[in-house]
């Protein structure tokens, strides 16, 4: 474990670079300009016990890595790491050697006029894997081998918003920060069916709602539910519900 230092951030007179790491997109963005905002962020993270602090005796500046989860409601549940420059000999002695090496890569990259964002993200994620960081409640509630709660919400919302569109499962996997194979397995573990089956069932559910509550034609309902042709819609609806959509509409009336 890394000890949390009591040094007040407001006493810092050093430059503070903030790197925001998007855990879903596995991307990073750099903010060098808002030092006061960065210090306030440090205070907030420390106050909520979501900050891991590491002293480095050869760092010219300070560096804050903030790991953000996908949903705004998750706040900064991904945790954060603050690398602080300290006088020689003040460095924490109990961290793995890889931490110093990876931190040096980050500092070297930040010296460039245009930092390599993919490299920053890759190294920041490696550091997160090595260190024992605070995690968001959403990251601990997933069934073993399934999606994290935020990933499940994002996947469902992504597909729900695109019921009238055609899109590959890789788009949904990307939105959750996972490979297609990993996402498909985890989705089935969490929701009990593969993504394509869930999407098909959701489209039929939407079709039944439109059949019952609107006067749209079958062709228009087919398009609104992501079916390119009415004949395809009719086949799938009949196979799923047990009767053609026209008959189901009359029965519902």
Instruction: List the domain boundaries for the chain.
Output: 9-137, 149-252
What is the average pLDDT score of the chain? 80
Q: Give the mean pLDDT of 228-241.
A: 93
Rounded to the nearest 10°, the torsion over CA 192, 198, 201, 203 is 160
Terminal alpha carbon distance of the chain: 65
For 145-174, the pLDDT digits (tens) are 788 888 888 899 999 999 999 999 999 998
Q: Which CATH class is domain 149-252?
A: mainly alpha
If we measure between CA atoms, which residue out of 133, 190, 152 comes closest to residue 70? Answer: 152
3-class DSSP state of 31: strand
* pLDDT band at 233; cut points 50, 70, 90: very high
Give, in order, the Cα–Cα distances in Å from 72 to each of 34, 75, 203, 234: 21, 6, 27, 40
Mean pLDDT of 94-104: 80
In this prediction, residue 40 carries a pLDDT of 79
More confident residue, 233 or 134: 233
The pLDDT value given to residue 194: 94
| Contact between residue 115 and residue 109 where contact means Cβ atoms under 8 Å apart | yes
Please give the Cα distance from 167 to 51 (Å, whole number). 39
Q: What is the pLDDT of residue 76?
A: 40
- What does the pLDDT read at residue 95? 67
What is the structure's pLDDT at 48? Answer: 66
Separation between Cα atoms, residue 137 and residue 18, nearest integer Å: 24
Query: Which of 154, 199, 191, 193 lies closest to 207, judged by CA?
Result: 199
Highest mean pLDDT among 46-50, 174-178, 201-205: 201-205
Tally of CB atoms within 10 A around 18: 23
- Side by side, the strands of the sheet bearing 16-22 are 27-31, 16-22, 62-68, 80-85, 51-56
Confidence bin at 9 (pLDDT 50/70/90): very low
Percent of the chain with pLDDT over 70: 78
What pLDDT score was predicted for residue 68?
79
Please, are residues 85 and 67 in contact by the beta-carbon 8 Å criterion?
no
223 vs 67, more confident:
223
pLDDT at residue 237, rounded to an integer? 94
Average pLDDT (240-246) is 92
Confidence of residue 204 (pLDDT cuts 50, 70, 90): very high
Distances (CA, A) of 24 to 28, 115, 148, 179, 204: 11, 21, 11, 11, 29
């Amino acid at each position: 474990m890394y000890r949390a230092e009591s040094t007040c951030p407001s006493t810092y007179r050093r430059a503070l670079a903030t790197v925001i790491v998007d855990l879903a997109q596995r991307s990073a963005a750099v903010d060098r300009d808002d030092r006061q905002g960065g210090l306030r962020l440090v205070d907030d993270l420390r106050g909520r016990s979501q900050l891991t602090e590491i002293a480095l005796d050869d760092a010219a500046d300070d560096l804050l890595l903030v790991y953000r989860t996908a949903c705004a409601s998750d706040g900064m549940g991904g945790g954060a790491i603050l690398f602080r420059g300290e006088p020689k000999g003040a460095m924490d002695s109990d961290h793995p050697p890889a931490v110093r090496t990876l931190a040096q890569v980050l500092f070297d990259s930040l010296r460039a006029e245009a930092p390599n964002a993919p490299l920053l993200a890759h190294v920041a994620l490696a550091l997160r894997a090595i260190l024992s960081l605070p995690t968001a409640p959403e990251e601990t509630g997933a069934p073993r081998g399934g999606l994290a709660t935020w990933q499940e919400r994002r996947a469902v919302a992504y597909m729900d918003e695109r019921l009238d569109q055609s899109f590959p499962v890789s788009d949904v996997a990307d939105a959750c920060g996972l490979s297609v194979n990993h996402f498909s397995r985890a989705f089935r573990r969490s929701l009990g069916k593969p993504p394509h089956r869930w999407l098909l069932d959701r489209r039929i559910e939407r079709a039944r709602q439109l059949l019952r509550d609107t006067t749209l034609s079958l062709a228009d309902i087919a398009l609104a539910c992501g079916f390119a042709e009415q004949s395809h819609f009719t086949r799938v609806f009949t196979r799923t519900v047990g009767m053609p959509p026209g008959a189901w509409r009359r029965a519902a009336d």
